C-alpha cells in the first residue's frame, strides 16, 4: 500500500474483528480426494490483459473464462504465462509426485490432445497424448520426477475434423488429509475505488470465493471503501466472510499486520494472503497460492509474481532477494527474468526467492505463531524484514510462477519522493536487525549516492535521505507512534525545496519558449572521475547556462549536472520538475552530509544493539494493540 494525500489519523471504529470472526476460519477443512492445483483459464480478468497470457490459438477461437471453443482446423496450447504448470516448483517444494490434467471435451469429429513438458533449456517433449473421437472427460497424467532445476507442463489441442470445446480444465494431485482455512487481508488508504474493485474481483469467481474463509478489509483512509456502491453491491456475496475494519493510518506495515493480528487471534491454523488494494487481481492466483501452501513439505511463504499494470504483458521480476550490506532490496535473483514480456518468453529455470513483496503473498499460520508480527516501520522494507526473519527461523519463501497480479509499474514512480525517507530509515533498521553492517562501508556508499544527487541539483532528495538516517540514529523510540509523525515530517519538510514540486508540463514556472531539449550521450566509463569533475565545475560555476529540457530517460546525474537550470520530466510522465543550481544550499547539505555520516560511523554499533534489543517489543501483539488503540478501547468497555 502506498500512503498518500493525508496523514491524518482516524478513529478506530467498532466493526467486527477477531471476536466474531467467521466460524470457517477456526477449523481445518476436510480435503477432497484430489486437490485442484490450478485451473485452465482462457481469458483474463480485464480487457487490457492479453489473452495470449492464457492460451494461444492459431485459427478461429471463441474464449470464455473457463471454456475455449476452437474452430475446425485450429490448434492451441497453454504454453503461456497463466496456462503453464510450474512443474519444477511443485517437485522441489511440495509433496506432489504425480499430477493429472483433466478436462471435459465437446468434440465434433476428432481432436488430438497432448501433455507436453519442457526442461531447464526449454526443450519440448511429449509426455502423454490422446486421440479423442467423442465428447466427455479426458485425463492425461505424469510423474513429477524430472524437473528439479527447471521445466513446466502444458497442454496442446488440435481440432482435426471439426470444432472442439475445452472446459472444466484442472490440474490436480492427491490431497493432504486436511486443507487449512485461509483469509485474505487487504490494506487500503484513500484508494476506495481500487480497493472496491479488488474485493469485487474476489467475489466474481465462485470457486475462489468458496475457497476463501474470510476477507479482511483494513481501511486506514478518510475516503472510506464501505461507502463505494461497488463495495456495497458485492459485500452481500461474501455473506459472513467479509470483515471491514477502520483504523489510524499506520502505513502498509500497520494495515497488513492488522490482518495477521486478527486471524492469528482466532486460530493458529489459518493462513493469510496479504494483498494490495490497487492491484488488478487475477482471482485464480488465490487458488494457486493456497493449493501450493497446503502441499509444501514444510510451512512456506508463497508469493505471487508481479506483472506491470500499465504494460500488462511484462513481468517485474521472477524472484527477488535483498543485499543488506548495500541496503538494497528488490534485487533480481541470478538467472531470474526481469522486465520481460511473458507473451514472448517463458520461465524455464527454477529461481529461489529471498523474500516476496506483499502485493500478494501468503503467510502460513506457523510463521506468525513462531516469529510474531511485523515491526511498525510504516511502509517499505516491512515485507523484506518479515521475509528475512521468517527465513532465519526456518521458513523459506517461494515466488510461484504462473501466479500473479498486476501492480503499478515501479519505474513510473519518481525516486525523488518523500517515500525515500522511509526507504532510507527502514533499510538501516532492517540491516541492523539482520546483519552486522559495516559502518564505514555504508557511509562511503551513502556519501557517493548523495554526491550524485547534489550535482544533479536534487537538494530535497538529499535532505530526505539525511532525515531518514538522522531518525534511524534516534533509535527504536522513533517507531513509538508507528510512523505518524515521521510521515508528516517527511512530507512537509520537502516544501522548502522547489525542485521537489511537480508542475504541469504545459505550464511550467518558466517560459516554454526558452527550454532547449538536450539529449544525453553514453554513460561515462570512469564515473568517479566524472563525478569529481562535475563537483568542481559546479563549485566554480562552470556549468552551461540557459534553460535546458531533459527527458526522464536522459535524467542521469552525469548529464543533468552539466547545466545550471533544467526542466526534467517526472517519472510519472504527468508533469515536470525544475532544478536550479544553488551553491549555498549545496554547501550546507554537503556539510550536513559529512556530519551525519560521521555520526553514523560512530554510533551505528550502539544503535544496532538498541534495535535488536527492542525487537521483541516492537513486533509484539501488545505493541500493535497499543498502536491500534485496542488497549484503550477494551479498557473503556
Q: How far apart are CA 449 and CA 447, in angstroms?
A: 5
Q: Strand, helix or coil at 223? A: coil
The rounded radius of gyration (Å) of the Cα atoms in the chain is 26
Give the torsion through C-alpha atoms of 428, 431, 436, 442, to 10 deg.
-50
Four-residue CA torsion sign, 17, 19, 22, 28: positive
Quote the CA–CA distance of 371 and 457 in Å, as a whole number.
43
Q: Long-range contact list for 632-636, CB < 8 A, 24+ apart?
A: 633/12
Catalytic residue chosen out of the listed positions 194, 213, 383, 414 = 383
Q: Judge whether 393 and 301 are in contact, CB under 8 Å.
A: no
CB 270 within 8 A of CB 365: yes
Bridge partners (DSSP) of residue 580 are 565
The answer to whether the CB of 128 falls within 8 A of the CB of 109 is no
Asked if residue 81 lies in contact with residue 308, where contact means CB atoms within 8 angstroms, the answer is no
**Nearest alpha carbon to residue 479 among 627, 596, 377:** 377
Residues present in the chain in total: 637
Q: Which of 270, 272, 332 is nearest to 305 (CA)?
A: 332
Q: What is the DSSP letter of 40?
A: -
Secondary-structure breakdown of the chain: helix, strand, coil percentages, each rounded to the nearest 5:
40, 25, 35
- Residues contacting 570, CB < 8 A, separation 6+: 414, 502, 552, 576, 577
Residue closest to 460 by CA, chosen among 566, 555, 579: 579
Residue in the block written with cell 499506520? 250
Q: Are 422 and 465 in contact (CB under 8 A)?
A: no
Instruction: Please tell me the distance from the alpha carbon of residue 96 to that of residue 176, in angstroms, as a whole number.
Output: 10
How far is 400 from 359, CA to CA, in rounded Å?
13
Check if 383 is active-site. yes
Give the H/E segment covering residue 585: helix 583-618
Residues 6+ apart with CB under 8 A from 411: 571
**Which residues belong to the active site?**
383
Amino acid at each position: 500500500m502506498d500512503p498518500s494525500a493525508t496523514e491524518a489519523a482516524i478513529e478506530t471504529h467498532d466493526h467486527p474483528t477477531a471476536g466474531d470472526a467467521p466460524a470457517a476460519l477456526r477449523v481445518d477443512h476436510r480435503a477432497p480426494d484430489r486437490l485442484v492445483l490450478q485451473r485452465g483459464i482462457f481469458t483474463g480478468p480485464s480487457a487490457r490483459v492479453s489473452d495470449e497470457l492464457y492460451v494461444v490459438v492459431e485459427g478461429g477461437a471463441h474464449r470464455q473464462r473457463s471454456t475455449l471453443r476452437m474452430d475446425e482446423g485450429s490448434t492451441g496450447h497453454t504454453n503461456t504465462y497463466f496456462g503453464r504448470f510450474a512443474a519444477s516448483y511443485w517437485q522441489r517444494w511440495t509433496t506432489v509426485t504425480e499430477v493429472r490434467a483433466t478436462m471435459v471435451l465437446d468434440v465434433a469429429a476428432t481432436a488430438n490432445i497432448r501433455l507436453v513438458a519442457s526442461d531447464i533449456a526449454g526443450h519440448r517433449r511429449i509426455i502423454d497424448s490422446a486421440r479423442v473421437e467423442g465428447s466427455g472427460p479426458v485425463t492425461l497424467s505424469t510423474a513429477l520426477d524430472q524437473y528439479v532445476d527447471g521445466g513446466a507442463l502444458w497442454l496442446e489441442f488440435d481440432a482435426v475434423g471439426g470444432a472442439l470445446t475445452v472446459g472444466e480444465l484442472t490440474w490436480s494431485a492427491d490431497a493432504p488429509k486436511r486443507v487449512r482455512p485461509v483469509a485474505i487481508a487487504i490494506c487500503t488508504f484513500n484508494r476506495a475505488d481500487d480497493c472496491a474493485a479488488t474485493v469485487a474481483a474476489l467475489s466474481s469467481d465462485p470457486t475462489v470465493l468458496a475457497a476463501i474463509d474470510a476477507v479482511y478489509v483494513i481501511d486506514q483512509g478518510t475516503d472510506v471503501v464501505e461507502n463505494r456502491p461497488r463495495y456495497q453491491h458485492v459485500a452481500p456475496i461474501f455473506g459472513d466472510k467479509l470483515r471491514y475494519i477502520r483504523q489510524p493510518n499506520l502505513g502498509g506495515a500497520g494495515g497488513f499486520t492488522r490482518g495477521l493480528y486478527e486471524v492469528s487471534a482466532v486460530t493458529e491454523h489459518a493462513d493469510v494472503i496479504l494483498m494490495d488494494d490497487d492491484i488488478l487481481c487475477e482471482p485464480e492466483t488465490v487458488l494457486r497460492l493456497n493449493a501450493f501452501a497446503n502441499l509444501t513439505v514444510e510451512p512456506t511463504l508463497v508469493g505471487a509474481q508481479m506483472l506491470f499494470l500499465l504494460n500488462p504483458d511484462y513481468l517485474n521480476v521472477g524472484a527477488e532477494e535483498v543485499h543488506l550490506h548495500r541496503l538494497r532490496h528488490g534485487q533480481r535473483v541470478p538467472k531470474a527474468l526481469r522486465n520481460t514480456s511473458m507473451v514472448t518468453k517463458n520461465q524455464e529455470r527454477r529461481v529461489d526467492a529471498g523474500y516476496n513483496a506483499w502485493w500478494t503473498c501468503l503467510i502460513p499460520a506457523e510463521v506468525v505463531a513462531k516469529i510474531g508480527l511485523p515491526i511498525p516501520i510504516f511502509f517499505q522494507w516491512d515485507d523484506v524484514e518479515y521475509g528475512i526473519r521468517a527465513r532465519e527461523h526456518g521458513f523459506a519463501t517461494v515466488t510461484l510462477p504462473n501466479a500473479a497480479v498486476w501492480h503499478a509499474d515501479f519505474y513510473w514512480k519518481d525516486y525523488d519522493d518523500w517515500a525515500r525517507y522511509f526507504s532510507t530509515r527502514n533499510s538501516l533498521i532492517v540491516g541492523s536487525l539482520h546483519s552486522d553492517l559495516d559502518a564505514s562501508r555504508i557511509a562511503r556508499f551513502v556519501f557517493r549516492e548523495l554526491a550524485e544527487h547534489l550535482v544533479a541539483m536534487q537538494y530535497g532528495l538529499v535532505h530526505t535521505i539525511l532525515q531518514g538516517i538522522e531518525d534511524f540514529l534516534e533509535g527504536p523510540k522513533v517507531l513509538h507512534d508507528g510512523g505518524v509523525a515521521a510521515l508528516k515530517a517527511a512530507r512537509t519538510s520537502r516544501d522548502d525545496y522547489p525542485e521537489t514540486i511537480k508542475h504541469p508540463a504545459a505550464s511550467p514556472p518558466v517560459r516554454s519558449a526558452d527550454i532547449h531539449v538536450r539529449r544525453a550521450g553514453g554513460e561515462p566509463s570512469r564515473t568517479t572521475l566524472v563525478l569529481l569533475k562535475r563537483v568542481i565545475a559546479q563549485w566554480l560555476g562552470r556549468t552551461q547556462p540557459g534553460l535546458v529540457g531533459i527527458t526522464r530517460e536522459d535524467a542521469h546525474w552525469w548529464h543533468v549536472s552539466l547545466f545550471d537550470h533544467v526542466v526534467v520530466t517526472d517519472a510519472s510522465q504527468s508533469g515536470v520538475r525544475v532544478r536550479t543550481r544553488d551553491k549555498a544550499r549545496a554547501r550546507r547539505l554537503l556539510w550536513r552530509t559529512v556530519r551525519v555520516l560521521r555520526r553514523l560511523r560512530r554510533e551505528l554499533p550502539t544503535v544496532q544493539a538498541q534495535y535488536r534489543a527492542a525487537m521483541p517489543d516492537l513486533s509484539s501483539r501488545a505493541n500493535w494493540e497499543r498502536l491500534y488503540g485496542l488497549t484503550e478501547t477494551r479498557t473503556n468497555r
